[in-house]
A and B are shown apart, each in its own frame.
Chain A
Amino acid sequence: MSAPALPAADARSAAPRSPAARPRRIKVAHPRAIAIFIVPFAVLFTLFYLIPIGYAIYQSLLVVERDGTFGKATQVFGGLTQYIAVFQNGPFWESIGRVLAFGVVQVPVMLGLALLFALLLDSPLLRGKRFFRLAFFVPYAVPGVIAAIMWGFLYSPNLSPFTALTSNVSFLSADLVLWAIANVVTWVYVGYNMLIIYSALLAIPTEIYEAARLDGAGQLRIAWSIKIPLIMPAIVLTGIFSIIGTLQLLAEPQVFRTFSSAVTSTFTPNLMVYSTSSIPNVSLAAAFSVVLALATFVLSFSFLKFTQRKEGK
């Protein structure tokens, strides 16, 4: 998450450290209370996070062997066989390329819009701010599946209220369907990201702007030189959430399969995990999952590090 906030939290909680603290074991005060507080979460986290991750890795190391073509199937240790299969799997890398292209376009557009709206809401230029804030946030109340179903109807030439547009532009064709989905995702999440950025803007004390105002800086200048640098942590946070979301695309393309034959069962990496596990080849699907989770982790982590380094300069 937003690592810039972490040192602050640590500094606060570690503040009362006594200078006499020696390297030898400190006596823990209130061990029973600490256990009561921590154990429920720790148990659930272990059961539903750590064990599944471990199990996915274990499963991805197995292969199925059969006695003859129709013989009994047994799972045996196969080393990195499944990972080799993943790396040789063309459709998987195509699907990764597809979501990366999607993310490179959709994430900046979405966050750019969210930033623009948040800055406008925070500026003295607007009237009816409450209304806009609410109106832009409403789509977030629509679950991805429902939003995809709704937009699927809106894109369909014979059902759409915009027939003049949809009869000329085929949003559900192979060329455009990815961007049709990008529009759905943008529609749902812009308001959410806007609110995160906006609440960061509200936390800036207004005195900071006064000097700039006296110097004759306009709203644009204040936004660019003062506000944006100060809310960088919030923008980074929304960026990481968006990267994770992009690589995990599933519900929207899955729904669009019913509207468009251009969306195949290998359209996004997660669709591939799903279709591979229902073939079923769970070991290969597990290997897909592991690679995908790692890719997500590495991408969002390096994005975090990258933006932190830039800030540090």
Chain B
Amino acid sequence: MSALTETPAATRAAKRARNNNPAPKVAKESPLSRIGAMTVMLVFTLYFLIPIWWLFIAGTKSSTQFTNTNPLWFADFNLFANIGNLVAYRDGVFLKWMLNSALYAGAGALLATLFAAMCGYALAKYRFPGRELLFNIVLGGVLVPATALALPLFLIFSQVSLTNTFWAVFLPSLVSPFGVYLTRIFAAASVPDELIEAARLDGAGEVRTFFTVSVKLMFPALVTVFLFQFVAIWNNFFLPLIMLRDETLFPVTLGLYAWNSQVNQIPELRGYVLIGALLSIVPLIILFLLLQRFWRNGLGAGSVK
């Protein structure tokens, strides 16, 4: 297993026990169950990866080769020519979409994480009237599906003439009730009161203590909240679908969706949809690879007693 995982002490201890302390193997695993387990995993590896492999292969082909060569193996390697064509198509609107998505999801998730962390931290570390009420309302917010909010948001935004603007998609994504929930649990568990007290004695203000001391201790949870929110915004479809008319404001998902619905009228779009889909996956995969150790830590934090 990966050597770069698990920060919470409990998990680390569990891992150490697992690695350095080979338990007395009384019940030895039979070769048969080993083979069975590997077979199951290999078969499902094919299930999960073949569609992506196919998409990659499709991205490397010219449109004629797409239909008359083996769909799961290379023909002439046209990947870069295809990317070049896609990027040049309609004055580079695809790049604009990728940039939009990066902005909606990157800046949105960053701010959402900050706001959720401050609120979760306050709920965990301070006592004030209405604290439990606030927390319960936020918790109810976790169960309210984001798609149910899209239509009323559209109605409200259209009254203040904010539909079809960047803000119509950006502002609602700054709220993460799940982030508040997660950071509250994490702050309660990982930021000792003694440390805050010590910072107070040193004369640091509450806000400064949060940004210099507590944020570091809460870091795994913050990365998790960031990733959750980033993925949620990146994948969000309903909100941009009803808010945006102007193509230059689209996130990449909505842009590719729009192209895909026009494939019947404009067949050349099919190639662009495929290569665009391939490229749109890359940023998330890179992000996961960069942040995966934090991501896995925090994932469990909300669910394990």
Contacts and interface: CB of A to CB of B under 8 A. Distances in A.
Q: Do A and B bind each other?
A: yes
A279 interface: no
B188 A12 contact: yes
A173 interface: no
A135 B48 contact: yes
A139 B52 contact: yes
Given A1-B181, A125-B33, A286-B155, A216 B207 contact: no
Interface stretch (B78-86, B88-96, B234-242): B234-242
A13 interface: yes
Contacts of B129: 25-26, 28
Contact of A150 (B41, B121, B277): B277
A135 B138 CA distance: 35
Contacts of A152: 260
Interface SS of B by simple majority: helix
A101 B175 CA distance: 32
Given A48-B175, A149-B256, A53 B144 contact: yes
Nearest to A290: B148
B178 to A, nearest CB: 7
Nearest to A244: B145
Contact of B206 (A30, A56, A113, A207): A30
Contacts of B44: 113, 117, 136
A1 B142 contact: yes
Contacts of A273: 151
Contacts of B25: 213
Nearest to A184: B51
A153 interface: yes
A233 interface: yes
Contacts of B24: 210, 213-214
Interface residues of A, number: 121
Q: How large, as a class, is the contact surface on chain B?
A: 35 or more
A262 interface: no
Interface string B204-240: 0111001000000000000000000001001101100
Nearest to A222: B27
Nearest to B144: A293
Interface string B231-260: 100110110011000000000011011001
B74 to A, nearest CB: 13
B18 A206 contact: yes
A171 to B, nearest CB: 13
Interface of A: 1-2, 4-5, 8-9, 12-13, 16, 25-26, 28-34, 36-38, 40-42, 44-45, 47-53, 55-56, 59, 113, 116-117, 120, 123-127, 129-130, 132, 135-146, 149-154, 158-161, 187, 190-191, 195-196, 198-200, 202-207, 209-210, 213-214, 216-219, 231, 233-234, 236-237, 240, 244, 247-248, 250-251, 254-255, 258, 270, 273-274, 277, 282, 285-286, 289-290, 292-293, 296-297, 300-301
